[in-house]
Amino acid sequence: MDEEEQPELPEGMPGNIMDRMMSNWMFDKKFIEQRKIFLWGAVDDKSAKDLTDRLLYLEALDPGKEITFYISSPGGGVTS
């Protein structure tokens, strides 16, 4: 798909994939620094692993310090 054929992105959304990845990373970094973790969407093996990784990372940085966990999920299933 040529760059001129790409769908129009919402205002403020970076145009190329690397900019979008960096934008997401900056969003994640900001909330990790604030010890905030989010779960959006259905729970599956990948989301469960990502959450576990973040929780373990934050606990290792500052054991016992509060972590805020926001959940907006219909549920789901984890097989492992």
Domain boundaries, the chain: 14-70
Q: What is the pLDDT of residue 30?
A: 86
Arithmetic mean of pLDDT, 36-52: 90
Q: How far apart are CA 63 and CA 56, in angstroms?
A: 9
Which pLDDT belongs to residue 1? Answer: 45
For residues 2-11, give the mean pLDDT.
51
* Residues 40-51, mean pLDDT to the nearest whole number: 89
Compute the CA torsion angle 70, 48, 76, 23 (nearest 10 deg).
60
pLDDT at position 78, please? Answer: 76
Contact 70, 37 (CB under 8 A): yes
Q: Give this prediction's pTM.
A: 0.63
* Predicted local distance difference test score (pLDDT) of residue 18: 58
